[in-house]
A and B are shown apart, each in its own frame.
Chain A
Amino acid sequence: MANKSARDTRAERAAVALKEQQRRERRRATLMIGGVVLAMLVIVAGGFLINRARDTSANVSAAPAGSGSYGVTIGSKSAPNSVVIYEDFLCPYCGELEKATHSQLATLADQGKVYVEYRPFNLLQTDYSVAAASAFKVVLDASGPQVAKKFHDLLYADQPAESGPYPDSQWLVDKAVEAGAKESAVKSGIENETQKAWVESATKSATDAGVRGTPTILVNGKVFQDGRTVDELAQNLLSAVQ
């Protein structure tokens, strides 16, 4: 009897000790997991903050609308809102943005609500991007900003696919004439891409300003990216400058 109970208590004590040890072990494991997870979170948070500070996508320091030398403006400089749009004549998203905004922005500009500058440059490094932007400048110089803006709109309305085939220079001349340019005033300039150097400096000016893609939109000097799709972006842009 006495023997048995002594054995029982010893067994009980051993069980208690084992439980205690298991408890301590679980505690140690929990602390370890917590510590490792905490360390990882600290690393992730730190890395995120560093990365955020290094993200330059919203830092575009471009000349305000109307004061650059590489675009065409619509509206009055005294309008309460100003918009700068960097674009490539071949970029499909620019084409979508133009479809969704060009007439509305023109109306808003006429109403004195917004001052818009379109700045074409050669982002995609294609022959068409260069030819179209050069033709744009030829038309701007020969026929003035209104015809150049119309020419710009016509090019987007009939935009070729990014993968080609690209239209020839006669097509560009026809568009310019359709926009109101005199054929004799623009034909040789468009055909010989006489404003190639201007396109190069427009492109350098855009990349120096920090423009990394097209369309890049600045509203009152700040990069505007509000919208998941180009259509959303266009709608939000229009309501931002109403």
Chain B
Amino acid sequence: MKEWFGLVARLVTGVVWIVAGAVKLPDPASSVQAVRAYQLLPSAIVPTVGQLLPVVEIVVGVTLVLGILTRGAAVVSALMYLAFIVGIGSVWARGLTIDCGCFGGGGYDPNAASQYPWEIARDVALLLLSVYVVVVGRTRLALDNVLFRATPQLKDSEHGEQVSP
């Protein structure tokens, strides 16, 4: 049951990452602008983060959906959600009004403040799902189960032909 719920958590967080990354991919300039709007990072590394982020989001999303190195991908995913929660919280605390740029867009937005609680709540939920995947580690229908199953010889000698996780 845990492993099935782990699969659901993997798919939800993974699909969110893929969508978030794919939406940003066509326009790196606006992704950079969105990062700049947080006024958190030194301006010298803002472009790098803005250009890197969509790619990392997609790769993390794909690994989660496929279940490759599930635990590691979930750790990265959890850290990234944590970073976004901190980022949005900090923007909120400093009284800046920006579009979080979570799914494209970004930059100054005079009506943004009302969005912050909902954005943080969403990211906390996704953070918890990621942490759940880290904790269970093994999930159903993951490529990991194929890549890292016991070697055939060991299976034969230890458990016979049929090994179920």
Interface presence of B58 (CB below 8 A) = yes
A51 touches B151 (CB 8 A): no
Chain A proximity mask over B33-46: 1 for CB below 8 Å, otherwise 0:
10010011111101
Interface presence of A92 (CB below 8 A) = yes
A163 touches B51 (CB 8 A): no
Interface presence of A4 (CB below 8 A) = no
B51 touches A22 (CB 8 A): no
Interface presence of B23 (CB below 8 A) = no
Contacts of B74 in A (CB 8 A): none
Quick one: which of B1-53 are within 8 Å of A by CB?
Answer: 25, 28-30, 32-33, 36, 39-44, 46-48, 50-52
Stretch at the interface among B80-88, B103-111, B120-128: B103-111
**Interface range, A side:** 35 or more
Interface presence of A15 (CB below 8 A) = no
Contacts of B29 in A (CB 8 A): 55-57, 212
Number of interface residues of B (CB under 8 A): 39
Q: How far is the CA of A54 from the CA of B25 in the complex (A)?
A: 10
> Which of these, A24, A40, A228, contacts B59 with CB under 8 Å?
A40
Interface presence of B147 (CB below 8 A) = yes
Cβ distance A240 to chain B, nearest Cβ, rounded Å: 13
Quick one: which of A20-36 are within 8 Å of B by CB?
Answer: 21-22, 24-25, 28-29, 32-33, 36
Contacts of A55 in B (CB 8 A): 28-29, 32, 47, 50-51
A213 touches B51 (CB 8 A): no
Cβ distance A225 to chain B, nearest Cβ, rounded Å: 5
Q: How far is the CA of A54 from the CA of B28 in the complex (A)?
A: 7
A226 touches B43 (CB 8 A): yes
Q: How far is the CA of A157 from the CA of B51 in the complex (A)?
A: 36
Q: How far is the CA of A44 from the CA of B52 in the complex (A)?
A: 8
- With both beta carbons as reference points, the residue of chain A lying nearest to B25 in the complex is identified as A51
Contacts of B42 in A (CB 8 A): 228
Chain B proximity mask over A130-155: 1 for CB below 8 Å, otherwise 0:
00000000000000000000000000
Interface presence of B148 (CB below 8 A) = yes
Q: How far is the CA of A207 from the CA of B110 in the complex (A)?
A: 22
| Chain A interface residues toward B at CB < 8 A | 18, 21-22, 24-25, 28-29, 32-33, 36-37, 40, 43-44, 47-48, 51-52, 54-58, 91-93, 161-163, 212-213, 225-229, 232-233
10 further contact pairs, Cβ within 8 A, besides A32-B147, A226-B43, A228-B40? A21-B151, A21-B154, A37-B69, A47-B55, A55-B51, A56-B28, A91-B108, A212-B30, A226-B44, A228-B41
